[in-house]
Amino acid sequence: MEARPEPPMIPVDHAARVPGGVCCVSCGYLLENLPLPGPCPECGTAIGRSLAGDLLRFSDPRYVKRLRSGARMICNAMLVGLVIVIAQAVAFVMLPLFLLPTGGGAGRGVLTVFVSIAGWLVLGAMLAFLWGWWTLSSPAPGRRPPDGERMRRATRVAAAVAGAMSTLQTLFAYALVPLVTGWRNPAPWIFWTQLGLGLIALASVMGLWIAGMLHLQRLALRIPSRKLWKMAGFRVWFCPVLMVGGGLSVLTFYLACFGVFAPIVAAVLYYTLLNRLGDELTAVVRWMEPTQGSPAPVEG
Ligand SMILES: [Zn+2]
């Protein structure tokens, strides 16, 4: 667990020419055999930067900024999602108090509309969250770190599946079903389709968190941040265990309150990691800005 491999420096041969297989970090142009020092013939980036290993500070600044905007978007979407869930809970308690005096009929109509609006808002926050993950797992331009590719791709696949399933589920629940049958007496197939879509969405979000944490571990090596690497390594197993334990505890009577707190604890743990990632990527971006001097990125 202690090993943190240093990025390999690529050897340059005696004639000071770029060795085989080296591509430009900015545009991916094959730099093989070009003389040093010099610029990339395609985009003008100094060739030296492409020989400096996998550290993010030597990659394309636009790429690092894209990663940072992904991390920030995930954090913001989590906060917005939290606000919606709290508003929903408060409204569910308060609405009947206001509606009871007016009699059942109108109240049910208002409640139906309210539930539907809340459903679409949750979908919006969910899609923003998934778009954040999609951005955070953008492919590195130019040279691709081969051992990090699998988890990066798995993160993207899980985000895409979760997005498709959540959209289908929301469309189904708040657009199609009310059109076909109204809200009362839904047919069994509707229930099972809902449940199926929900379970696939849930499984892909779980998969996204696991693959995402492993992807972030790779990214942490390229910052480099030992602290972030450890944080992601802990969350990759602890949070799923917490969630599964919380899910099971809901089934029992005495431990049910643990089932409520488990997702909150997991969300806080994930949030602190992504927030820190955003800060560390900001430090890398600052380091790359030529006018700002060169303070080293935060090392935890
Ligand atoms: Zn180039």
- pLDDT, one tens digit per residue, over 189-207 is 878 888 899 899 999 999 9
**How wide is the angle at C-alpha 197 spanned by C-alphas 191 and 200, nearest 5°?**
135
Residue 210 or residue 225, greater confidence = 210
All residues at 6 or more sequence positions from 122 whose CB lies less than 8 Å from its CB, including other chains: 81, 84, 85, 170
Q: How far is the CA of 284 from the centre of ligand 1 (A)?
A: 20
How many CA atoms lie within 13 Å of 85's alpha carbon, on the beta-carbon side? 10
Distance 264 CA to ligand 1 centre (A): 45
CB atoms within 10 A of CB 71: 25
Distance 277 CA to ligand 1 centre (A): 27
Collapsing DSSP states into helix, strand and coil, what is residue 178?
helix
**DSSP summary character for residue 175:** I
Give the span between the Cα atoms of 212 and 166, in whole angstroms: 18
Query: What tens digit of pLDDT does each residue of 49-77 get?
Result: 777 777 888 888 999 999 999 999 999 99
CA distance 251 to 20: 59
- Distance from residue 222's CA to the centre of ligand 1 (Å): 20
Residue 8 pLDDT more than 60?
no
Residue 26 Cα to ligand 1 middle (Å) = 5
What does pTM read for this prediction? 0.79
Ranges 73-87, 122-136, 180-194, 254-268: which has the least confidence: 180-194
Residue 91 has pLDDT above 70, yes or no: yes
Distinct helix (H) and strand (E) counts, the chain: 8, 0
pLDDT at 107: 62
CA torsion through residues 47, 225, 80, 285, sign: negative
Is pLDDT above 70 for 106?
no
91 vs 273 pLDDT, higher one: 273
Question: How many CA atoms lie within 13 Å of 146's alpha carbon, on the beta-carbon side?
Answer: 1
Least confident segment among 8-17, 169-178, 209-218, 269-278? 8-17
Where are the strands (E) in the chain, listed by range? none
Predicted local confidence at residue 181, as pLDDT: 60
Residue 173 CA to ligand 1 centre (angstroms): 49
Check pLDDT > 60 for residue 292. Answer: no
Of the CA atoms within 13 Å of residue 8, those in its CB half-sphere come to: 5
CA 9–ligand 1 middle distance (angstroms): 19
CA of 46 to the centre of ligand 1 (A): 8
How far is ligand 1, taken at its centre, from the CA of residue 153, in Å? 24
Is pLDDT above 80 for 257? no
Q: How far is the CA of 155 from the centre of ligand 1 (A)?
A: 27
Centroid of ligand 1 to alpha carbon of 141 (angstroms):
10
- Which of the two residues, 240 and 4, has the higher pLDDT score? 240
